[in-house]
């Protein structure tokens, strides 16, 4: 006997909940929508629709993967970020809603049609660079990442979102320095690895087991990249150029001190949806 969409969703939701998956019902719906190649809300209009055996088998396979804490976004190979669709895989950090606030802070700080140069350090999937290019059409954006596979993914995402002529991605380990013209950029933006090595083991299994460790932790106190990028930005930024960081919970005071030590002023800190201080910015003196 074939399962209906509603029966499959109810069974899947119970299964994932019993496996300890958060938002089990939402996960069940998104995975089935992926199998049926429809929007999640369309499922509500198809509750009585019987599933073919091949659809049920595929659904069970995806549910099994999700039950081991493999991220939903890796299973369906995509994620929405700032109203755009991005391809993701296990070589890049999955874009988070909090990081949209970083993009928003940069967009709000500049004049939309101004010709500006932006540097995104640790560009990962390209989500920040691509979202900025899309929303600031007169800008030129350079994204740097240590991972060759991340750079390949970000180039695909630039093409997917039609900004490949505006964005350039380069493989680079910024801890070895950056060879660019002095005072070239109006904005430096980064969501760097900020989990300390001590906190890494306490992360949710989705993060700890499946996302690239190199994108999460600096193997130290979680502040190494803020120090390095703040120092480098002194010569990367034009006078009155701006720096923007995403920061981890409880890091705002330390990162503010790092920025002040490196001659940044007008420090602004913004909270995320959970009232955690998440975005920090400053202007080069």
Which residues of the chain form CATH 1.10.8? 5-68
Render pLDDT for 170-229 as a digit per residue (tens, 0 to 9): 999 877 767 666 668 999 999 998 888 888 888 888 888 888 888 888 777 889 999 999
Which residues of the chain form CATH 3.40.50.150? 89-284
Architecture (CATH level 2) of domain 5-68: Orthogonal Bundle (1.10)
Residue 85 phi, psi dihedral angles, 5° rounding: -100, 135
The hierarchical CATH code for the domain 89-284 is: 3.40.50.150
Own/partner pairs for 58-63, CB < 8 Å, 24+ apart?
59/8, 59/12, 59/31, 59/32, 59/35, 62/31, 62/34, 62/35, 63/12, 63/15, 63/16, 63/28, 63/31
pLDDT the model gives residue 7? 96
* 25 burial level (CB within 10 Å; 0-12, 13-18, 19+): middle
Render pLDDT for 253-275 as a digit per residue (tens, 0 to 9): 999 999 999 999 999 999 999 99
Structure tokens at 9: 């969703």
pTM recorded for the entire structure: 0.89
């Amino acid at each position: 006997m074939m399962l209906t969409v509603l029966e499959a969703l109810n069974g899947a939701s119970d299964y994932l909940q019993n496996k300890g998956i958060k938002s089990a019902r939402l996960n069940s719906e998104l995975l089935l929508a992926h199998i049926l190649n429809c929007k999640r809300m369309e499922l509500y209009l198809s509750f009585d629709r019987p599933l073919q055996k091949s659809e049920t088998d595929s659904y069970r396979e995806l549910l099994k993967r999700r039950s081991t804490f493999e991220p939903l976004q890796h299973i369906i190979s995509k994620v929405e970020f700032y109203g755009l669709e991005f391809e993701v895989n296990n070589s890049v950090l999955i874009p988070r809603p909090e990081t949209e606030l970083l993009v928003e802070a940069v967009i709000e700080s500049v004049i939309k049609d101004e010709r500006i140069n932006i540097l995104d350090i640790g560009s990962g999937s390209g989500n920040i660079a691509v979202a900025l290019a899309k929303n600031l059409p007169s800008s030129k954006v350079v994204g740097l990442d240590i991972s060759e596979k991340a750079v390949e993914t970000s180039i695909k995402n630039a093409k997917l979102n039609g900004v490949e002529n505006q964005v350039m991605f380069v493989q680079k380990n910024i801890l070895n320095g950056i060879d660019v013209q002095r005072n070239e950029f109006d904005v430096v933006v980064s969501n760097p690895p900020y989990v300390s090595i001590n906190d890494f083991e306490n992360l949710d299994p989705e993060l700890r087991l499946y996302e690239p460790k190199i994108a999460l932790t600096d193997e130290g106190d979680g502040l190494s990249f803020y120090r390095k990028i703040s120092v480098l930005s002194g010569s990367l930024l034009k006078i009155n150029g701006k720096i923007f960081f995403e920061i981890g919970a409880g890091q705002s005071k330390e990162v503010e001190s790092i920025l002040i030590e490196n001659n940044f002023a007008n420090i602004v800190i913004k909270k995320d949806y959970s009232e955690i201080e998440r975005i920090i910015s400053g202007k080069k003196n």
